[in-house]
Amino acid sequence: QKEVEQNSGPLSVPEGAIASLNCTYSDRGSQSFFWYRQYSGKSPELIMFIYSNGDKEDGRFTAQLNKASQYVSLLIRDSQPSDSATYLCAASTWGGAQKLVFGQGTRLTINP
């Protein structure tokens, strides 16, 4: 069973601090990794995508990938109350299979 694992939380972070969300995956064939944000009652929306080892930054968000450790993380700097949501990690393989395998999501709460 190809799995993506996340700590379901809830993760509580004070406003202005760094929120760190983690994800591990079991399939070494996974090539691309996605972080989706989902507000309560809404559909998931993509916030970050990474496929190379190392860091990728986009505004306040940084995605980190370590393929040797099969580990993906998302850092949110200067956390805002509007960042409170569930964050879903997803992995996909290349080679024709364009499915995404999702983790169970981490619920993040930013406290003012």
Q: Is 63 in the site for another protein (CB under 8 A)?
A: no
Residue whose CB is less far from another protein, 49 or 71: 49
Conformational region of residue 60, where left means phi above 0, alpha means psi within -120 to 50, and beta covers everything else? alpha
Contact status: 43 vs another protein (CB under 8 A): yes
Q: Token pair for residue 25?
A: 């995956």
Question: Which CB, 4 or 110, lies closer to another protein?
Answer: 4
Cα 36 from chain centroid?
Answer: 6
51 binds another protein (CB under 8 A): yes
Position 40 contacts another protein (CB under 8 A): no
State the nearest-atom distance from the C-beta of 83 to another protein, in Å: 19
Establish if 88 lies at the interface with another protein (CB under 8 A): yes
Amino acid, single-letter form, for residue 21? L
Q: Rounded distance, CA 111 to CA 80, Å?
A: 8
With contacts defined by CB under 8 A, how many residues of the chain interact with another protein? Answer: 23
Closest by Cα among 108, 111, 103 to 11: 108
Q: Which phi and psi angles does 83 have, rounded to 5°?
A: -80, -10
Q: Which is nearer to another protein, 15 or 53 (CB)?
A: 53
* Site of interaction with another protein (CB under 8 A): 6, 8, 31-32, 34, 42-46, 49, 51, 88, 92, 94, 98-105
